Each structure stands twice: as C-alpha cells, then as structure tokens.
Structure 1
Amino acid sequence: MNRKTLVLPALVGLLAPVLAACGTSGSGSDGGDAIVVGTTDQFVANSDAPAPFDPAYAYDTGAWNVLRQTVQTLMHVPRGGGQPVPEAASRCTFTDTESESYRCTLRDGLKFSDGKPVTAEDVKFSIERVLNIKSDNGAAGLLANIDTIEVKDDKELVFHLSTPDATFPYKLSTPVAGILSRDAYDGKKLREGFEVNGSGPYTLKAETEGDKLVSAVFTKNPDYKGDLKLRNDKVELRSFPDAATMGRALESGEIDMMARAMSPEQIKALSESPKEGIELKEMPGLEIRYLAFNTKDPAVKDKAVRQAMASVVDRGRIAGKVYGATAEPLYSLIPSSITGHTNSFFNKYGEPSRKKAADLLGDAGIDTPVKLTLHYTTDHYGPGTAKEFAELRDQLNATKLFDVTVQGTEWSKFRPAQKRGDYAVFGLGWFPDFPDPDNYIAPFLDADNFLNSPYVSTVARNELIPESRRQADRTAAAVPFNKLQDIVATDVPVLPLWQGKQYVAARSDITGVEWTLNSSSDLQLWELARGTA
C-alpha cells in the first residue's frame, strides 16, 4: 500500500464518553510524549466521499470532531454543556425580540494557520460557501434559514434570518459554520482530501495508507486565540481495525485511552472485572439508533408496511440481548433525557403485537410475507451493529409476515448508497449537533435533510418546525414537538430503536477525561493531560 505523511492543520476521531479523574500532578503541557487515543473510526477519501473534512460536506460525528480541533466557529458549547458561548467571537447576541437578527463581533488577533488574519468577510464567505455548494450530505440544512449576511467592518457582521430561530446560536457552534480562509478554499466546489485550513487549537500531522487516514498527531497551535484552554501540547489518534485490537493496545500501554467504539463485551468486562491501571466510566448519552425508510421504494412505500414493522419490533429485547446495560429502548426520535420527549411510538403501537401488524397489512391489501433487506454499516457504529440487525431479522421473520435478509457494508460505501436511495430500509445512528429537541426532528423531517429522504410532511415543515423555533424558552416549544413526534409515529419515515450510554476507558495517569466529551459528544482533546489520579 502507498503510505505517506501529510501535514495538516487538524483532525480527530470520535471518543464516546467519559472517565472521571481526580486531580493532576502536572499540566500536561510540558512538551512530553503525545497522549495516544485509540479509535475504530475509519477516515476515507475516495470517489464516493472525496472531501470528508470539508465543512460544506462533513456531517457525521467523526468528521465533525476532526473539524472541531482545527476550524473555529463563532460560538461553541462549553465543556460541560449548556448554552453556547463565544469562541472565535468576542460577543454574539440577537438584536431583536423575534430571533431574526443575530450580530457577532470577532476577537482581536485571530489568524489562520498560514498567518493571515481572520475577518468578518471570511466568516461570510465560509457560510455562504456551504449554502452555495449545498452538498447532498445534509449539513447545509442547518443554515438554510439564513437570508442575508451583512458585514459591518472587519470584525462585525449580522445574520438576517428568513424565519425566527432561537436555536441559531447552537447552529453557529457546529462545524458546518466553521470559519475558512478565502485563499485556501474555492467558494463553489468542495476541497478534496484530508487537508483542513483553519484557526483552531491544533495543527495536524497525518499518516495515510492509500485513501485512508491511519494516524494523526495534533500539535498545539501557537497562534490560536479563542475561548479554549489547552492542557496538552500533543494528542495522537490511532485508528484500529476493531475494538478487540484497540483493547489489547490499551492493556499493553500502547495507547492511553479507547472509546469509539468499544464493544458491549468490553464494557461489561471492564465493569465487572476492572483491570489494574485502567478505569471505565459511564455517563448519560444522547446517541440514538433507528431504522430509516426510502418511502419511494415499492417495498416500503405503503406506510402500512412501516407501521407493521413498528408494531412487532421488540426494542427491549434488542437493547437487552445485544447491548445489555449500555442501551435502553427508545419510542421517539427525541431521547428521554431531552426536554420535549414523548413515547409516541409506544402510545400508538403498545407492546410488540403480531396481530396488530397482521391487521395493518391485511387492511392495506398487502401480500405477506413482505420481502425486505435491512442494510447496516459494518464499521461505523461498533461491533454490536451486526448482532442488532441479526436480532431485527429474526424478530421480523418469526412473525411470518416478513421475509427479511440483512446486508452489511462499510461506511465509505454505505452512506453514498443510502443517499442515492439504493436501500429501502437501512440503519443509522444519530449524535446530536446540539442538545435541543429541534436537532432530533429537523435533520429528519425538514427540507435538505440528513437522510436525503423523499418523505415530506408539509405540516411538519411549514408549520410545526417553524413554530417550535420561535420559542426562546425551549420548554414552551413542547406542544409543537409533541405533535411532530406523533406525526413520525403515524407515518414512520423512521423507526426509533434505542438510545445509548457513553463509555470511555483510559489509563489511570490520564486526567481531564471527564471533560473530553460534552453532552453532544463533541470531542474536546484539549482537555486531556498526563498526571496522577
């Protein structure tokens, strides 16, 4: 294989949560050895996904966490979660009572990695570039309600929104709103490969094999100016082919931490039989898993088929048999830990029932068994996914109402095929862009959505989603969100399955791990340090 080294401004993989550490004897910023983090995430740049780290294209947790290390945003969510605070900006605020005009002022002295100053024109260019390219990956949908961007001077600009949106500060904290250099990026096309130019906390030296990134070293950016406080000089990310290999590397001391994606078996073993010098910590997670449907495909075009599947799937059995204590059943797109959640699917379908499914199919005149293939990705969500889909297949086939097979595909091929509409039924996971119920609804139901779904609910798009965004007090948006969840349960464009907890395992001399991920699973490598627990 061709093996080469690239020097880039930054990169990362996804860690999944969190180990508590008690104090430290050192700052970790003494120029010593890099803290080494293991991941099973695979980063590929090929013909199907040529620009994995372009903010106009990237829209999965792993790629976004690459961008978070190198590309600044005007706002960011604090390490412990909560409302966004200024990052590249010194101040941002709504200037009206309708949440339609948002003014930001940049910090003094911001520079890109090539030494050029960051200006308000760069911010305008970066965001308009996302909207102009409008990649089919769905990220542009987060910024779709921007009407115009008015530049006041080198440091000040105003976003004029086409509709009120109280969640807009959150959207400016996501990598799709990352600030890019006009000299380094074309305004009309994606930037291919792994290179990223930003003004973030790290630069990157990356090693590749062919079209894959296999190792990355993040080095502190001496010109960084922002809200983040770095506790280390270097963090290395190493990619492993599977969780078992990554686990052995942690035990041997080759790496200091492992997270995404630990297997349920590893989590269980470390919980029940802790290993000396290694600690495991669980924290509440906001990840969800679901089945999604290409509602134009003849196999699932009739919603009675989708409703019948919702009637017989046993979420509790999937969570318990495959994931054990690491997951719990989910009966809505909005997880139970997010304000606004309702058990819409349970309210409509109740406990798994073959009779209810048979009645739905019979009333719709659908011949049984219904032949379906359930598609899943083999290398993106961890080793439990194959077992999960085997359990789904067995549950559906046991009813004799379905004739189901399953098919696994690597992520670099799976995601492009899914967006093209090649799959009638497919499984995906979702880590929120920001911890608000809007981000569990709009990416699935709004125009230019993440799924590239043909499903349309005009009531959801034109009435309920806009209504929910008008509420600055997010608890006041409960009524439209309840209605939106009921629409999903009735039409079943997606079928929620479970929500997960987060875990990370690390060696006991690594500190700051409890802050490495915030509530939205944003990776914050700058929090890690080497010391004594």
Structure 2
Amino acid sequence: MNHRRTQVAAAAGTALIVLVAGCSSSKSGGSGGGAKAPTTGASSAGPDLGKAVINPGYTTKGGTVQILANANFEHLDPVQNYVTNSGDIGRLIYRTLTFIKDTPGQKPEIMPDIADKLGTTSDGGKTWKFTLRHGLKFEDGSPLTAKDVKYNIERSFASDIYKDGATYMPDTLVNANNYAGPYKDPKKDLTSVETPDDYTMIFHFSGVQPDANWMLSLFYTAPVPKAKDDKQSYDLHPVASGPYKISKYTPDKSLVLVRNPNWDPASDPNRPALPDSFVVTEGIDLPTISQRLIGNQGPDVNATTLENSGAIQNGDLPKIRDAAVKARFVNGATPCIDYEFINTQKVKDPVIRHAIALAVNRQGVQTTYGGDLFGAITDTVISSTIAGYKPPDLGLKPGGDPDGAKKLLAGKTVPTLHYGVSSTSVKQKTVATQLQNDLKAAGITLVIDTIPGKSYYKTIRSDAAPDMGRAGWCWDWPTAASIVPPVLGLDSSGKSWNSNNFSRLIDPVLSPQITKLASSTDSASSVGTQFNDLTNKLESTDWPLIPTIASNDPNVVGGNLQNAGVSTIFAAIDLNTIGVKH
C-alpha cells in the first residue's frame, strides 16, 4: 500500500499555510531559478543502509522501464492524484505551475515549470502573480493556456465529486462567492484566480502565503482542457502536457506510457525524460515482485517497482548481501512517517487511547518492516529533517508496556475494537496480527477487518472507517505546515476534522490553535518550533495516533537501470531521472 502524500493525502484545512523552511518567500521571487529547502537532508538513508543513487550521471535516451505493481492506481486524474505511487507516474504525464525538483541525493528545490519563473508578490504574500511559458501544448497539439491551469484548480473546489485530492486551494484562496466547482453553477467564476490573458495568472489568498511557490507545485495546478473533462472518467485518460502520454490503460492490468510528441524538452529543464516508454504491469503479488527484482532475469533487467520498500520481503533480505544484488540495491530517506491511527469518534476515552499506545510493541513493527534498513522508530509524525523538530517524551517503550496499559485500564470497560488492514499488504497484515497480540496482553480484544487495497484510504475516510488502522503521511513540501494541519487539524470550516485527519480528532482547545498557527506572521523558525510543540502536546494528551516508523525506501532494481534513486517527494524510485542502459 502506498502513502500519500497521503499520505496520501492531504490538505491543510486552514486559511494560511506557512512554509517553515522554504526560501522562496522573498517579495520579488522573480528569478527564473529555484529556491532550495535548506533544512532537508540528502536522500540517502544513512551510512551502510544502501547507496543513494545507482549508476548516476547517465544521459542516454531510449529503452523501456518495466514497473512491477501490485494494485491499480487509485487516481491518475491530477485533481485526485495524491498518493505516492500515482504521483511518481503523474509528473511524467502532466506539468504543474511550479515543480519540486528532488533529484535523488540532493536537497529539494522549487523550480518554475509551466510558469516561466517563480511567482512574485507585491503585497507581502496575499497576492501572487505568475507568467506562463509560451508555446506549450497538450498531447493533441492544442495550446496550453492559463485558463487550462485555472480550470483544474476550479475542479479542486468540487468536493462533492473529488474527495481524494489535496485541498490547499479551497482551503487558502479567497472565496467570497462560495464557489463550489465548475459543475454546480457553471456561470460562477473562481474570482480569486485571475487569468487576464493566456499567459498570466494572479492568485488572491485569504491570508499571507510567503511560500505559495511550493504550494502551487501540487497536481491541482496541472492543466486540464475543459472540453476533455468527463469528471470521474478523466482518471482513465488525463490529457498529457508532460513528456509522456498514456498509450493504453486497463485498470488492474496494465498502463503504458509513450513519448508525447508535443512536449518540448527545451521548455522543460526539470524532466530529463530518458526512457522511450514505461510499462506498468499490475496484479503481481508483493513477494513475486521482490523475487523478480532480485532475480534480474529477462525483461526484469529493466524493471523496478513503486511499491513501498521496493516490495522487499523479510525472507529476501539475506539475498541483498550477495555482491551482484547489492550492486543494484538503493535506499533513501523518505518524507513519510507511518503511524497507527485511533478513531477518536469511536474510541472516545483518551485514557484508553493512551493505554493502546503503551501496549504497542513498535520494535516488533520495525522488525516486521525489516529493521533499520526500512526505517527508524519515531515518537512523532514530524520528520527529523523539518525545522523546529524536537522529539517528544511520550513515555512509550519501544518494546511495548502491556502492564502499564493494564494499570491505565483498571476499572474501565473496553469494547471489542476493529482494525482495518489493506488486502494487498503482507506487512500490514503481519503488523495487524502483532498489534492484536499486543492489545490482548493488555486485556483488549482487537478484530482484524480486511479492506480492498485499492480503496483503503477511501474507506478510512468514510463513515465505515474502523476503530484503528495504519496510515502514513509524506510531507508535500519540507515544513511542519504541510504535516500538522493535514494530519491533526480541522477542515476549512473549522468545525470538523481534515479529510486526512484519520483519527478524526477535534480538540476544543488545541485544534483551533493549529488553524491559528497556520496564519502566524512569526518567523519561519518560530512557527516551526510552535508547530512541533503543539504536535507533541496533542500526541501526549489526546493520544490520537501512535507514531511508529520514519520510513526509508530500500529497493533492488533491474541491472540495466541507471540514475536509480529514491524520490524525496514520492518515497519511491524516482521515475523522473531514471534511465535504461540499452
């Protein structure tokens, strides 16, 4: 199962998103180059845990990359593409207003993409202006204009139709006329995004957005031609503006990307586009993917996977030590934190939630993942590379404390709890069984319910959400502001939980503080520290979730693949930079 950026996920339900560490917040912001995020580390997972990049420096075009996949992509429509694996595919198909360049082994930086330079602001960050490159085209040769970018942003307001995408635009743009997307009332206009001509866009935010350049890199700024929009069916054939287009897509079976003849490489310095094509084969079980990549036979010499942790199984770990396999082994730190959420609307007593957290053997979870190679135990959903990071003291023992949990539960009646598990994830099922035993030792009965893998996140957002489950959050850009509001905050109304707040936490005192902090005009470092302190307080008083693993993404790739490294953004092999020796 894949994260997103959902985690898959998410959107901040606040009027303002402050980027704690970004360097693109100057008032001019007008250079054509990019701004780096200085607080993020290199993509390597650390010494002795694998190479950061395999066979770097390759520039030859040609060849086909084979991608071995377990399940179908949840979405390819850019307005709903908010999961790590489909995101890695998505940026091959469509361009965005700006682009987070996250070359493996290097720090992420924000670059212009459809825009010809980064945006500028003249009023301190509430209004941003972008000019677009001339001559860009869709795959059919029709011109790409500012109105096509605006149209997809408008689609992100249609929350009755599109429930799985990022919601930063409806959460942050001025919406004086209660705009609700292009379908309910086609005569209404999203007036906070102006397109005075085909090459100019002006954004009006309800609060100061010093780092709008980062926010506008997400897929809701991918252009969509209005005439080709067929709502949910657009998932099957998004119109390409990037270097590749869909040649054939049969969900649950295969996806074939070929070169887009109307993409101009001279206009796109961010995408090397080395392979001639990508072929995704779906429906392969995870152990088979691992075995095939290690085996490196036939067409698999050109193969990789976008599955979490490269689909590597614990039983395959000794094989990685073999010199021939080790030469094809890459590992990188990801932006993702795994955690066990507790549905606070069903498990209402924070003392019971605290007891659950005490009982969980996170060391066992790490072992199931494969040990340090796959990630480190963490006490917070905030990555250690984020400005202001300071780990909390939750009082949790890595190996669990069932006796401590029993003491907390003295005199309390705990009903049978239900844990949702993805049908496609062997590791998740193994962890679920361990949690079942952990809670049993503390006197709590946990029933494991299977959820179809392709609809896992949809289910845990719905009214049918279980009492507990596993989730992961990968930051959208390298600051706490793209982590805390989505994972623990409120929606844009301020009355309910954010769609990616799977714990459904609403703390009457602390939740509004998340919203308020997102509108803070304090310094970036101060905001980062405040977000961190607020998160630590929420985690240690409300106990809405149990942080488990700060993830790495180890992978074995086919022997012909070049420039193979882990994307800092998508927590998978970076398809944007990869090449094929042929």
Given the two structures, how large is their TM-score scaled by the length of structure 1?
A: 0.84
Counterpart CA distance in 2 for 1:337 and 1:460 is 24
Q: 1:152 aligns to what?
A: 196
Instruction: Answer yes or no: is the 8 Å Cα contact 2:357–2:396 preserved in 1.
Output: yes
In structure 2, which of residues 416, 430, 436 is the aligned counterpart of residue 371 of structure 1?
416
Mean Cα deviation higher: 216-225 or 85-94:
216-225
CA apart distance, 1:451:
4.1
Counterpart CA distance in 1 for 2:108 and 2:451 is 36
Q: 2:124 aligns to what?
A: 98
**1:294 and 2:376 correspond:** no
The one-letter code sitting in structure 2 at the alignment partner of 1:506 is V
Equivalences for residues 205-216 of structure 1 within 5 A: 205-208=247-250, 211-216=251-256
Instruction: Answer yes or no: is the 8 Å Cα contact 1:133–1:190 preserved in 2.
Output: no
**1:21 and 2:54 correspond:** yes
Q: 3-state SS of the aligned residue for 2:409?
A: helix
Q: 3-state SS of the aligned residue for 1:218?
A: strand
Structure 1 regions of 5+ residues with no counterpart? 1-15, 45-51
Counterpart CA distance in 1 for 2:543 and 2:370 is 24
Q: Relative to 1, partners in 2 of residues 1:219 and 1:140: Cα closer, same or farther, differing over 3 Å? A: same
Q: Relative to 1, partners in 2 of residues 1:391 and 1:452: Cα closer, same or farther, differing over 3 Å? A: closer
Q: 2:145 aligns to what?
A: 119
Q: 3-state SS of the aligned residue for 2:88?
A: helix
In structure 2, which of residues 299, 304, 307 is the aligned counterpart of residue 258 of structure 1?
304
CA offsets 1:305-353 (integer angstroms, 9 cap, x no match): 2111122222123213542221221211112233333323x33556643
The one-letter code sitting in structure 2 at the alignment partner of 1:438 is A
Q: 1:477 aligns to what?
A: 527
Q: 1:34 aligns to what?
A: 64
Q: 3-state SS of the aligned residue for 2:338?
A: strand
Q: Relative to 1, partners in 2 of residues 1:247 and 1:312: Cα closer, same or farther, differing over 3 Å? A: closer
Equivalences for residues 20-419 of structure 1 within 5 A: 20-22=53-55, 27-30=59-62, 33-43=63-73, 52-80=75-103, 81-96=107-122, 98-133=124-159, 135-137=162-164, 139-141=166-168, 143-147=170-174, 148-185=192-229, 189-208=231-250, 211-224=251-264, 225-227=267-269, 228-250=271-293, 251=295, 252-255=297-300, 256-259=302-305, 260=307, 261-265=310-314, 268-275=317-324, 279-297=328-346, 300-325=347-372, 326-344=374-392, 346-347=393-394, 349=396, 352-362=400-410, 366-368=412-414, 370-379=415-424, 382-400=425-443, 402-419=444-461
Instruction: Answer yes or no: is the 8 Å Cα contact 1:334–1:340 preserved in 2.
Output: no
CA offsets 1:26-73 (integer angstroms, 9 cap, x no match): 74324xx412232334236xxxxxxx2223333222232332221211
Counterpart CA distance in 2 for 1:276 and 1:330 is 30
Counterpart CA distance in 2 for 1:72 and 1:418 is 30
The one-letter code sitting in structure 2 at the alignment partner of 1:72 is R
CA offsets 1:349-397 (integer angstroms, 9 cap, x no match): 56643454334334xx5214x4212111132xx4321111111111111
Q: 1:420 aligns to what?
A: 462
In structure 2, which of residues 484, 493, 497 is the aligned counterpart of residue 441 of structure 1?
484
In structure 1, which of residues 430, 438, 457 is the aligned counterpart of residue 473 of structure 2?
430
CA apart distance, 1:159:
0.9
Counterpart CA distance in 2 for 1:494 and 1:67 is 30
Query: How many residues are treated as equivalent by the alignment?
Result: 493
**1:450 and 2:500 correspond:** yes
The one-letter code sitting in structure 2 at the alignment partner of 1:528 is I
Instruction: Answer yes or no: is the 8 Å Cα contact 1:39–1:258 preserved in 2.
Output: no
Instruction: Answer yes or no: is the 8 Å Cα contact 2:356–2:405 preserved in 1.
Output: yes
Q: Relative to 1, partners in 2 of residues 1:119 and 1:294: Cα closer, same or farther, differing over 3 Å? A: same
The one-letter code sitting in structure 2 at the alignment partner of 1:137 is D
Counterpart CA distance in 1 for 2:76 and 2:501 is 19
Q: 3-state SS of the aligned residue for 1:136?
A: coil
Structure 2 regions of 5+ residues with no counterpart? 1-43, 46-50, 175-191, 492-497
Q: Relative to 1, partners in 2 of residues 1:457 and 1:56: Cα closer, same or farther, differing over 3 Å? A: farther
Q: 1:3 aligns to what?
A: none
Instruction: Answer yes or no: is the 8 Å Cα contact 2:66–2:303 preserved in 1.
Output: yes
More strand by share: 1
Given the two structures, how large is their TM-score scaled by the length of structure 2?
A: 0.77
Counterpart CA distance in 2 for 1:459 and 1:162 is 23
